[in-house]
């Protein structure tokens, strides 16, 4: 079982898309094991996007992600990192297909509703930027036996 860090970004929260995001991951069969509504600090934002530190859009990214509350979540499931990024859709807005969260809801690459980790290493780093291990709730989901 793999786990990932998903975050409804400030634009998604402002647009009332938290429920829609949770609904899509729930109906796919993934399992939420952690959830927090919070305003990220600048330190958390810089750590979260550390891989983009040298990019020209880094400052805007940090400003945006700290501009309002976000829904930070940890989800688990088989191959969830790759599969959740399919549910989310491509980064570049012109490549985000209809049926994906970004394809259905986002109009701009830098206002793209949701974040999802891109590797097991980033998932662990990103999870621990927002959650303590003891805040995650693991439980047996009985429906897995039917899937
Ligand atoms: P995220 O980390 O937010 O889930 O997005 P991602 O993996 O799909 O894309 P990533 O390459 O990690 O980029 C992080 C965020 O930076 C903004 N971005 N702007 N102007 C640009 O060329 C550009 N490229 C990326 C996007 O908002 C992206 O979500
Ligand atoms: Mg990324």
What is the predicted pLDDT for the residue at 113? 98
Q: Does the interface predicted TM-score (ipTM) exceed 0.90? A: yes
Ligand nearest to the CA of 63: 1
90 is in an annotated binding site: no
* CB-CB neighbours of 33 under 10 Å: 19
What is the predicted pLDDT for the residue at 52? 96
Whether residue 110 has its Cβ less than 6 Å from ligand 1: yes
What is the predicted pLDDT for the residue at 141? 77
Ligand 2 centroid–CA 27 distance in Å is: 23
What is the predicted pLDDT for the residue at 74? 98
Would you give per-residue pLDDT tens digits along the chain (147 residues)?
899 999 999 999 999 999 999 999 999 999 999 999 999 999 999 999 999 999 999 999 999 999 999 999 999 999 999 999 999 999 999 999 999 999 999 999 999 999 999 999 999 999 999 999 999 998 887 766 676
46 is in an annotated binding site: no
Q: Which fold has domain 2-146?
A: Alpha-Beta Plaits (3.30.70)
Which residues pair with residue 76 across a beta bridge? 3, 31
Over residues 30-42, the pLDDT tens digits come to 999 999 999 999 9
Which residue's alpha carbon is at the smallest distance from atom 19 of ligand 1?
110
Ligand 2 centroid–CA 143 distance in Å is: 31
* CB-CB neighbours of 31 under 10 Å: 20
What is the predicted pLDDT for the residue at 90? 98
- Find where tokens 């634009």 sit: 11
Question: Across all residues in the chain, what is the average pLDDT?
Answer: 96
What is the predicted pLDDT for the residue at 143? 67
Whether residue 48 has its Cβ less than 6 Å from ligand 1: no
131 is in an annotated binding site: no
Q: Which residues have C-beta under 5 Å from ligand 2, the single-atom ion?
A: 118
Residue to substitute in 63, 80, 91, 96 for testing ligand 1 pocket (most ligand atoms within 8 angstroms of CB): 91
Query: How many helices and strands in the chain, by DSSP H and E?
Result: 7, 4
- Give yes or no: 115 in active site: yes
Contact 110, 64 (CB under 8 A): yes
What is the predicted pLDDT for the residue at 25? 98
């Amino acid at each position: 079982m793999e786990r990932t860090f998903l975050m409804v970004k400030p634009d998604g929260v402002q647009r009332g898309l938290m429920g829609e995001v949770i609904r899509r991951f729930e109906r796919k069969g993934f399992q939420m094991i952690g959830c927090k509504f919070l305003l990220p600090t600048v330190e958390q934002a810089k750590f979260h996007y550390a891989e983009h530190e040298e990019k020209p859009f880094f400052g805007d990214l940090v400003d945006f992600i700290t501009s309002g509350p976000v829904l930070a979540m940890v989800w688990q499931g088989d191959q969830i990192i790759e599969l959740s990024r399919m549910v989310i859709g491509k980064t570049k807005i012109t490549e985000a297909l209809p049926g994906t969260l970004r394809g259905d809801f986002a109009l701009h690459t830098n206002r793209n509703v949701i974040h999802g980790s891109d590797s097991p290493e980033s998932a662990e780093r990103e999870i621990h930027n927002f959650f303590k291990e003891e805040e995650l709730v693991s439980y047996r989901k009985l429906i897995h036996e039917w899937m």
